Structure 1
Amino acid sequence: MRRLTYENSRGEIIQFYLSPLVIESLTGIGEVDAEVQSQRAPYQDGDTYIDTILQPRFIDLEGSITKTDLQEIKRYRKHILRVCNPKLGLGKITLELDGDIKEIRGSLDGAPVFPERGQNVWQKFMVSWKCPSPYWRDPQEVSRALHAYQPTFKYPVKYPAMYGFSGDSTILENDGDVDTPVTIDVQGPVTNPQIKNLTTGEFIKINRSLSADEILHIDTNTQNKRVEIYRNGSVLEKAWGYVDDDSTFLMLIPGNNEIEYLADSGGVNGIVAIGWHNRYAGI
Structure 2
Amino acid sequence: MISKFMLQDMNSFNSAIFGQDFNCDFLYLSGGLDWGNVPASHNTYNYPGQIGDTFSSTKINNRDITVEGYVFYTLSKDEQNLYLRDEWNDYAYSKIKQKKKILNELINPQHTLRFIINDYYIEGKPSSTPQYGTEEGDNNVYFCKFMFSIFCANPMFKKIVDSQTVLSGDYGGFHFPFILQDNMGYIIGTRINYLMLIVENEGDVAVGGEIKLTAKAEIVNPVIENILTGEYIKINKTLQQGEVITINTVDGEEKGITGYYQGVTRDYLQYWDFSNSWFKFEAGSTMIGYSTDNGSESELEVVVTINPAKYGLEEM
Q: TM-score, normalised by structure 2?
A: 0.74
Change (3 A) 1:13 1:214: farther
Superposition deviation, residue 240 in structure 1: 2.1
Instruction: Note the alpha carbon deviations across 1:64-117, whole angstroms, 9 max, x for none.
Output: 1122622111111111122222212x3322124xxxx42122222222222325
For structure 1, the 5+ residue unaligned runs are: 149-165
Contact kept in structure 2, 1:2 and 1:95, CA below 8 Å: no
CA RMSD after TM alignment: 2.4
Tell me the SS of whatever aligns to 2:236. coil
Contact kept in structure 2, 1:4 and 1:16, CA below 8 Å: yes
Q: Does 1:15 align with 2:22?
A: no
Bigger share in strand: 1
Tell me the SS of whatever aligns to 2:154. coil
Superposition deviation, residue 256 in structure 1: 1.8
> For residue 153 of structure 2, what is the aligned residue in structure 1?
132
Contact kept in structure 1, 2:290 and 2:297, CA below 8 Å: no
Q: Distance in 2 between matches of 1:23 and 1:140?
A: 28
Superposition deviation, residue 275 in structure 1: 0.7
Q: Distance in 2 between matches of 1:126 and 1:230?
A: 48
Contact kept in structure 2, 1:57 and 1:130, CA below 8 Å: yes
Superposition deviation, residue 137 in structure 1: 2.0
1:73 partner amino acid: I
1:247 to 272, 276, 280: 276
Q: Distance in 2 between matches of 1:8 and 1:205?
A: 39
Instruction: Note the alpha carbon deviations across 1:29-70, whole angstroms, 9 max, x for none.
Output: 5x2111111123345443221232210111111111122622
Identity %: 24
Q: TM-score, normalised by structure 1?
A: 0.82
Superposition deviation, residue 232 in structure 1: 6.3
1:272 partner amino acid: V
> For residue 84 of structure 1, what is the aligned residue in structure 2?
107
Contact kept in structure 1, 2:291 and 2:297, CA below 8 Å: no
1:195 partner amino acid: I
For structure 2, the 5+ residue unaligned runs are: 74-88, 170-192
2:121 to 91, 98, 103: 103
Tell me the SS of whatever aligns to 1:252. coil
Tell me the SS of whatever aligns to 1:73. helix
Contact kept in structure 2, 1:5 and 1:15, CA below 8 Å: yes
Larger relative contact order (Cα-Cα within 8 Å, sequence gap ≥ 6):
1
Matched pairs, number: 259
Superposition deviation, residue 233 in structure 1: 6.7
Q: Distance in 2 between matches of 1:180 and 1:267?
A: 26
2:54 to 40, 48, 51: 48
> For residue 28 of structure 1, what is the aligned residue in structure 2?
35
> For residue 132 of structure 2, what is the aligned residue in structure 1?
114
Contact kept in structure 2, 1:194 and 1:261, CA below 8 Å: yes
> For residue 302 of structure 2, what is the aligned residue in structure 1?
272
